[in-house]
Amino acid sequence: MEMIELTVKDAVLQALEQARGTRLSGGRLAEQLGVSRAAVHKAIAALRESGLAIDAVTGEGYRLASDDDSLTAAGINALLDTAVIGREILVEPSLTSSNTTMKEQYLGRRHGFTLFAEEQTGGRGRLGRTFVSPADTGVYMTILLHPTLPLSHLSFVTISAAIAVVRAIEQTAGFTPQIKWVNDVLMNGRKLCGILTEATIEGETGTVSSLVVGIGINLHPNPAWPEEVQAVAGAISDFGKPPRRAELAAAVLNHFEDVYALLDQGKEPELLEQYRERLCCIDRPVTVISPAGRYEAECVGLDENAHLLVKTADGQVNALSSGEISIRL
């Protein structure tokens, strides 16, 4: 497994993260990391200066406070068990959009490179919508992929991300949201997460050279949300105890690698079954919103291409490959 090359500061943070809740002495840290105690002391001072809540007790050692909610590459890395996804991480304090920045600056990075933003000033969602992304209220990330998948399977990548988010929230917050086709993660009808997948196509061959998978998860509600956002948005804290951002971020990456592997292994039916069992719209009346207009229908299933099957009042069954639905609660 290829690991991130850590500075002494990052290595100290990783050790404290892995031992969160217990104390590590300066001597033990120095021995564990193969550095001097002076180097550990300097690293602790630098971490505190960057805002991390590290307390110390003479004779007992250092401890990263249990309520510390810092988001750092080393902190996330300490909680990863992936082989590729998230093994190279960059955390920026502010970006217009992690997807836009990824496409403009980082498409040459390796498969699995992940870019985090503490806040986004111009976050984007599907269909040109704005995704409001204030600091300290959510996790905003973009995963870079260089897939070996046929163009027809790209929608499965978005589905993989939605499943990963549901599993990560279930693991870290203790409740299980559902998915509204295509990729909205909901709890009691409130949207907790937005996912936007964008492809870069080679002009001459028409093949996909890279994919960027943007994921934004609301940990806490924000009073600055516009009124129209407050009407539909929810946050993890509305339904359970919100996890630390690093904990949630690592869980998403861990589960995404696990689910995405099903595509590489040709196990699309297994992936679709995981998706189908988390959909909240099966056997329910829906309003279909498509380029052709709006109409009422009943959601009756999912086909092998992840297209939603809806039955209209005259008994006709349509397979939706685009557009969106509204569920009547």
CATH number at residue 230: 3.30.930.10
- Given this model, what pLDDT does residue 217 score? 95
CA 96 – CA 166 distance, rounded (Å)? 26
Do the annotations mark residue 326 as ligand-binding?
Answer: no
Do the annotations mark residue 97 as ligand-binding?
Answer: yes
Q: Are residues 59 and 184 in the same domain?
A: no
- Given this model, what pLDDT does residue 125 score? 54
Q: Are residues 243 and 322 in the same domain?
A: no
Predicted TM-score of the model (pTM): 0.88
Q: Are residues 115 and 40 in the same domain?
A: no
Q: Are residues 201 and 291 in the same domain?
A: no
Q: Are residues 101 and 235 in the same domain?
A: yes
Q: How many CB atoms lie within 10 A of CB 53?
A: 14
Distance from CA of residue 248 to its chain's centroid? 8
- Given this model, what pLDDT does residue 206 score? 67
Q: Which of 39, 64, 89 is the last residue of a domain?
A: 64
Backbone φ/ψ region at 283: left (φ over 0), alpha (ψ -120 to 50), beta: left
Q: Is residue 1 part of a domain?
A: no
Q: Is residue 153 part of a domain?
A: yes
The answer to whether the peptide bond before residue 213 is cis (omega within 30 degrees of 0) is: no
CA 107 – CA 85 distance, rounded (Å)? 15
- Given this model, what pLDDT does residue 222 score? 79
Do the annotations mark residue 61 as ligand-binding?
Answer: no
Structure tokens that stand for 167 in this block: 């599993």
Q: Are residues 158 and 59 in the same domain?
A: no
Do the annotations mark residue 120 as ligand-binding?
Answer: yes
Structure tokens that stand for 314 in this block: 């005259």
245 Cβ neighbours under 8 A, 6+ residues apart = 69, 70, 71, 139, 219
Q: Are residues 237 and 146 in the same domain?
A: yes
Q: Is residue 54 part of a domain?
A: yes
Q: Are residues 15 and 135 in the same domain?
A: no
Do the annotations mark residue 155 as ligand-binding?
Answer: no
**Which range of residues forms the domain containing residue 26?**
8-64
Q: Are residues 130 and 225 in the same domain?
A: yes
Q: Is residue 3 part of a domain?
A: no
Q: In a structure prediction context, what are the per-residue pLDDT tens digits for the chain, which is 329 residues long?
A: 233 446 898 889 889 988 887 899 999 999 999 999 999 999 999 888 877 889 999 889 999 988 889 898 888 988 999 999 999 999 999 998 999 999 999 999 999 999 999 998 865 555 455 565 666 789 999 999 999 887 778 899 999 999 999 999 999 999 999 999 999 999 999 999 999 999 988 766 667 889 999 999 999 987 777 788 888 899 999 999 999 999 999 999 999 999 999 998 999 999 999 999 999 999 999 999 988 789 999 999 999 999 999 999 999 999 998 888 988 65
Do 161 and 267 meet the contact criterion of CB atoms below 8 Å apart? no
Do the annotations mark residue 322 as ligand-binding?
Answer: no
Q: Which of 42, 64, 86 is the last residue of a domain?
A: 64
- Given this model, what pLDDT does residue 29 score? 95
Do the annotations mark residue 124 as ligand-binding?
Answer: yes
- Given this model, what pLDDT does residue 4 score? 42
- Given this model, what pLDDT does residue 2 score? 31
Cα–Cα distance list, 46 to 8, 12, 93, 223 (Å): 10, 11, 17, 33
Structure tokens that stand for 52 in this block: 């991390």
Do the annotations mark residue 27 as ligand-binding?
Answer: no
Domain count for the chain: 3
